[in-house]
Structure 1
Amino acid sequence: MSSTAESPQPLKIVIVGAGLVGLAAAVALRREGHHVEIYESSTFKTELGAGLAIPSNTLRSLIELGCIVTNLNPVENLCFTSMAHDGSEAGLKSDHTDYEARYGTPWVMAHRVDIHAELLRMVTTSDIPGPAATLHLGQRVLACNVSNCSIALATGETISADLVVGADGIRSTIRAAVLGEDVHIPASGTAGFRWLVDSAALDPYPELDWIVKARPLGARVISAPMGLGLADHRTIVIYACRGGDLINVLAVHEDKRDQGAVPWNVPTTRDALLDFFSDYHPRFRRLFELAPVDGIHVWQMRVVPPLANWIRDRVCILGDAAHASLPTMGQGFGQGLEDAVALATLLPLGTRRTDIPARLVAYEGMRKPRTEWIARESYEQQAVAEKRGIYLRSIEMRDAVMGYNVREEVKRVLSELTELTKSDC
């Protein structure tokens, strides 16, 4: 059975990683009544990342977990508008004004730090059901012993638990323990220039009014020159976040560097940016010139290949550790969030330690096919010319991604598991 005749007992759960998905998993699991401890190597002294898409399915799950949406300082993404590199309209437009009616929640944009801060609040606040999670910062996890369901810290301490959850990103330590070997994350040949600029800095330049002053507000896409071949897949995505005060710019391109020989995230210069896009219209050059001198980075984008498994005994992985993808469909965080919701819903208060392996099998069975499909599509819709823009053009694909209700689906699976358990008693 899934609970005792007496009062149900909480599980002790250790989460490795306090990024967005790790914190989301902590919130979801505390809501089920479990005791959660999070171990994170960083100390959160610097801001993380930049803008982030929160599509309808992602926002719905955040709200269900207790997120106060206004705390995200969101900007609603009401459309995608595409322009060609020469300044003319490229023809790709996607209307998102009906997303809230269609999916129950809109698609919004937010700053990664604002999302992280709200999740931190949700981890510790007394306003959310369940015991507050405990966050251990500056604690590097060296290894995971699957047979003992424990982690080893750099301090020499060993922490045991009923369940260990690896939310430690694309270069996950817990993934190696689950698989029994390290996994090579191959170079994708794709990278992105990333930077933020104050929206007020655009005001003196009417040639940039189309970014945030044109309505409806939403993402602006600048496509690459045509006819230069598949390799020239330069795509610039621009959108407002932090209540409209910041403009996030991501310029995705073919990375001709040896990606194995350079760091995954490195600073670059404004001159290098201007040179790389020297054939783009002068109106776009003005946007590049506003990039902060010391705030431009080149970020490698890699995709975790399909893994043999995500689970082993009472240890599992989720988020980027399991299925890191390209940002093409805006689903990186969203799919990790769905993982967190699915895992927690499969482990309601009263779940016994002996129930966990079977519940993890159900978790993997639900999540692995969906996330692998989205990761594959995110790569192909960037790398395959014929597939670029399909997500914005296909209502059926958007429905499959944003219309999916992970909580309802996992409740159905849990009901089937519970009935099966009863029949075995």
Structure 2
Amino acid sequence: MAERTPGGPPLCIAIIGAGLCGLAAAVSLRRQYHRVELMNKEIGAAISMQVNTMCVLEYFGYNKDNLQGVDFVGIINFSSTRGEVKEMINLKDLPDITGGRMGINCLRTDIHNELKHLAMDENGVGPPARLHLGQEVVLCDPVEGKLTMKNGEIHDADLIIGSDGIHRVTLPEQRLGVLGLHPCRHGNVINVVADHTDDRDQDKHAWSEIATVEEVVEQLKHFHPRYFNFFKLGEQPIIQWQLRALPLLPTWINGRTALLGDTVHTTLPTLGQGAAMVFEDAATIGCLIPMGTHREDIPARLEAYQSLRKPQGELVNRESLEQTTIPSKRAQELRTVIHRYDAVEITKKYFKDHFEGAT
């Protein structure tokens, strides 16, 4: 029998994927005292989390020390071939964008571990989420809320969330020559990211593969010597990730099923908002489905989720792509709109205006 809560019986929620998005959704919905089941079939790199991301993490009750982060105070862009400074942005000088707050750089594995702790620790808010390893979904009935697994098991859910990353998206052509250095682990680890054109047959390669130091050196030999030496110091595993952007989708929802994160708005990293959109999606859907929500309420709540998140996700998707080709798009006004967006407060107000008293 389902555990009773002050607002009524909890909903059963199935989340497909246990990466950053899936775990963030699990944290958000666990806090509403629902029963969360994670179905999982991550690799470590640095991740930049802007101010709007931190708002959501604070709502989740995260421990900043566990992220071992370094304050994200700005960006310096250099010419990859000439070595000279092309652009310098100090966020401390732009309080209109940041609101006087700072984001952080940290390792993806550190934020993943913190989210896993928040989602599954016995002492957290709400019943801990349960992780089912080796579970591959082969069929989904989005209206009835049924998942069929590869082993033949069928799972019934009041709500299904798809958060299985970017494995089924398209690759836009990009001509890039960019090097990114991201300090993390309290500044003791430097993550090096080099962007380059991938001319391989995309049908014959996965979106993520292991590369050798020799392959990296050959591919990026045109970089300026002051950066080129970083590549020679590389240690395995060196991950070759393709940068991908997803075409805008007509809908993110169907019945009692919703898609979150990269599944619906995979974007380029030019605005540093990939993680932010993931966490904002998760916080929004959690705030819209508090304890006491009934199964029959789910379709309307998902309509609300889509109306709140689709415009924001598509804005970041579109602008991140255009920033690579249209220099005039690199406006501080856009960053202000994105960084000062508070998904938790916006959703709470929306819920009060549209659903208060319905649960």
Shift of 1:89: 2.9
Q: TM-score, structure 2 length as denominator?
A: 0.92
* SS of 1:237 mapped into structure 2: strand
Would the aligned equivalents of 2:196 and 2:220 in 1 still touch at CA under 8 Å? Answer: no
Counterpart residue number, 2:149: 153
Deviation by residue 1:366-421 (Cα, 9 ceiling, x = unmatched): 10111011011111112x05257x1xxx3321211110011111112112222696
* SS of 1:287 mapped into structure 2: helix
Q: Which of 37, 43, 50 does residue 48 from structure 1 map onto?
A: 43
In the alignment, the residues of structure 1 paired with residue 317 and residue 341 of structure 2 have an alpha-carbon distance, to the nearest angstrom, of: 16
Q: Which of 270, 285, 291 does residue 228 from structure 2 map onto?
A: 285
Would the aligned equivalents of 1:59 and 1:105 in 2 still touch at CA under 8 Å? Answer: no
Counterpart residue number, 1:186: 170
Counterpart residue number, 1:302: 244
Shift of 1:24: 0.6
Would the aligned equivalents of 1:87 and 1:283 in 2 still touch at CA under 8 Å? Answer: no
Establish whether residue 67 from structure 1 lines up as the match of residue 62 from structure 2. yes
Would the aligned equivalents of 1:66 and 1:128 in 2 still touch at CA under 8 Å? Answer: no
Shift of 1:86: 4.8
Counterpart residue number, 1:179: none
Counterpart residue number, 2:78: 83
Shift of 1:98: 5.4
Counterpart residue number, 1:318: 260
Percent identity of equivalent pairs: 36
Counterpart residue number, 1:252: 195
Shift of 1:148: 2.2
Counterpart residue number, 1:266: 209
Establish whether residue 135 from structure 1 lines up as the match of residue 131 from structure 2. yes
Counterpart residue number, 1:35: 35
Would the aligned equivalents of 1:13 and 1:163 in 2 still touch at CA under 8 Å? Answer: yes
Would the aligned equivalents of 2:80 and 2:177 in 1 still touch at CA under 8 Å? Answer: no
* C-alpha distance 116-242 of structure 1, shift in aligned 2 (>3 A): same
Q: TM-score, structure 1 length as denominator?
A: 0.78
| RMSD (CA atoms) | 2.2
* SS of 1:116 mapped into structure 2: helix
Counterpart residue number, 2:219: 276
Report the more deviating stretch, 298-307 or 97-106: 97-106
In the alignment, the residues of structure 2 paired with residue 323 and residue 86 of structure 1 have an alpha-carbon distance, to the nearest angstrom, of: 32
In the alignment, the residues of structure 2 paired with residue 419 and residue 267 of structure 1 have an alpha-carbon distance, to the nearest angstrom, of: 50
Structure showing greater radius of gyration is 1
* SS of 2:200 mapped into structure 1: coil
- Partner letter of residue 241 of structure 1? C
* C-alpha distance 84-7 of structure 1, shift in aligned 2 (>3 A): closer
* SS of 1:297 mapped into structure 2: strand
Structure 1 segment 104-143 matched on structure 2, within 5 A: 105-143=101-139
Count of residues in correspondence between the two structures: 354
Counterpart residue number, 1:373: 315
Counterpart residue number, 2:327: 386
* SS of 1:170 mapped into structure 2: coil
Would the aligned equivalents of 1:57 and 1:105 in 2 still touch at CA under 8 Å? Answer: no
Would the aligned equivalents of 2:144 and 2:255 in 1 still touch at CA under 8 Å? Answer: no
